[in-house]
Structure 1
């Protein structure tokens, strides 16, 4: 549905060189997730979901979770190697929320029967969990008054490829925190583009009509 657009280099990567404009940008981080105030004008095509703007891998498909009451619960990027989920939450001005969240998450995963260990990555501590259903990787990034959590979930044999894809998505993600005061850990609201929202509503209506036809 959406393409990568132009790639930017990640720190420590020699695969893609930064353009002259990117090098000349003052005080911009080398890679994301970016706060809206630091988002580069890099030409990368991103899907605008309100609180986050995400690049979508070539061939990726969107999977949307919607509560019965209406709000969007989550948006997943489904790829050939697994499913990626990037979510943003309200956080305090001080950093360190991911340290707390990751410890709680690891404890919950172990209670659910998963084997969990930590690894160090570009953004700090990552959680890696092996469950009977999938291989999971959780990456957290503390930003200014926000926390981004990226999740890669897929078959064990594609775990490395799925993790690399998650890193690439996070490196190009833009977070729009907004000025509203919110309790810490509150999920930042997801807003679907009008075209996608209309497609979902049409699909829901078609399913509703189909169910009514079966009932009759």
Structure 2
């Protein structure tokens, strides 16, 4: 698929007697094929507006809003959502094994869990492989996942059933433009990568909480 900066050697079709000489003269050029989502080492230098949440940098398209969900018990951030006309998008990153394949496991578990909760579930295939659609009452859900280098990225959009046809496109656009900052620290597999808020956003929330306490 050409994601995560997987590299492809070029210029390997020279005649056999000329290969050794070509290698001695110059290093074979490499081209990084990146279609997103991106590991930080392959992050594009583009003009896409993103909110920096520490472990993930999530695109914020025009006409959308950022909503922060706090965890009162833990005193931290539970999730950050990008609210679009088609639904609420949440992108989360997790520690994963080098071998990959975590999304297949998580997707299968999620399918069972949703069915146990009474949801109408429809597994399918999409841009990065397995995708999952679910309907709970009038709320339509779409899940996608991507396995990266020692991380897994999961995206979900929740919105009205009337927007279910457009929601997957919006979700994929945001996931495709996301940059993951895994870091080098060892972590147990499936550990959520930490989310931190930009200083301005954190200060605004702190002021709101102080006003509520007053």
Q: For 2:53 and 2:88, how far apart are their aligned partners in 1?
A: 17
- What corresponds to 1:41 in structure 2? 45
Equivalent position to 2:125, from 116, 120, 129: 120
Moved over 6 A (4+): none
Distance 2:30 2:164 in 1: 36
Q: Which residue of 2 aligns with 1:111?
A: 116
Deviations 1:63-109 (A, max 9, x none): 11121232211101111221000000000001110010001001000
Aligned mates of 2:105, 2:153 — CA distance in 1: 13
Deviation at 1:28? 2.7
Tell me which moved more, 65-74 or 198-207: 65-74
Give RMSD over aligned pairs: 1.7
TM-score (norm 1): 0.83
Shift of 1:26: 4.8
- Secondary structure at the counterpart of residue 28 of structure 1: strand
Q: Is residue 92 of structure 2 the alignment partner of residue 87 of structure 1?
A: yes
Matched positions, count: 187
Q: Any unmatched runs of 5+ in structure 1?
A: 1-9, 12-24, 210-216
Partner of 2:188: 183
1:194 is the counterpart of 2:199: yes
Structure 1 segment 1-216 matched on structure 2, within 5 A: 26-68=30-72, 69-209=74-214
Contact 2:39-2:180 at 8 Å conserved across structures: yes
Task: Give the TM-score taking structure 2 as reference length.
Answer: 0.83
**Quick check: which one's strand share is greater?**
2
What stretches of structure 2 of length at least 5 have no aligned partner? 3-28
